[in-house]
Amino acid sequence: MNDRLSAQMGFLLEADRLKSVLRATTLADGSRVENSGEHSWHLALYAMVLRDQAAPGVNIDRVMRMLILHDLVEIDVGDVPIHSANGAAHGSAEVLAAERAAADRIFGLLPPDLGSEFRALWEEFEAAESPDAVFAKSLDRVQPVMQNLASGGGTWVTYGVTADQLESRVGVKVARGAPTLWAWVQEKTTAWFAAR
């Protein structure tokens, strides 16, 4: 009867599966690992709360939309922890190709106008070049750092991460979109690694 609405609702049903994609990072209290659905919610809240850390001209509503969508491809590909395989797995050509195929399938469930719009937002996020995407990436990278600090080390312990590795894999990217924020966080990570 209503093909457009059926496609929209079908996409929303499929999206539910993101709640079953598990990340390496735990909740702040360390009780269990986080899933990519609740992680995406937390990031949207980060964007609302930390908008004064963004460069002038960043559109926080677009940043939120990107963050709500950014992990949907993990329904097919799973989460690839940033520190896994000594930092080599995340962003590998193989993972990128699989994520692209996932985007074809998942955004392809939507009516074409919405599918194209969401796909473009996801591509923009992945490219990390526009000011909105650079800020969104900063939040995506800083949230697990805060979770690890709260839980007593988290994935830094799991993967034997050094302070230098954290700086090169994460710090540089947080600082690119939110330099003041990274300076604030770095004080805490430096203390954590020094105390090991």
Secondary element (H or E) of residue 24:
strand 22-26
35/83 with CB nearer a copy of itself: 35
Amino acid at 157: V
89/192 with CB nearer a copy of itself: 192
The owner of tokens 């839980």 is 151
CB of 50: closest distance to a copy of itself in angstroms?
A: 6
73 by DSSP, 3-state: which? coil
Secondary element (H or E) of residue 35:
strand 33-35
144/156 with CB nearer a copy of itself: 144
69/136 with CB nearer a copy of itself: 69
CB of 129: closest distance to a copy of itself in angstroms?
A: 22
Checking phi first, is residue 174 left (phi over 0); if not, alpha (psi -120 to 50) or beta? alpha
CB of 62: closest distance to a copy of itself in angstroms?
A: 9
Residues near a copy of itself (CB under 8 A):
1-2, 4-6, 8-9, 11-13, 15-20, 27-29, 31, 34-35, 37-38, 40-42, 44-46, 48-50, 52-53, 61, 64-65, 68-69, 110, 114, 118, 146-147, 150, 180-181, 184, 187
**CB contact at 8 A, 175 and 83:** no
CB of 2: closest distance to a copy of itself in angstroms?
A: 6
**CB contact at 8 A, 134 and 128:** yes
116/184 with CB nearer a copy of itself: 184
**CB contact at 8 A, 169 and 189:** no
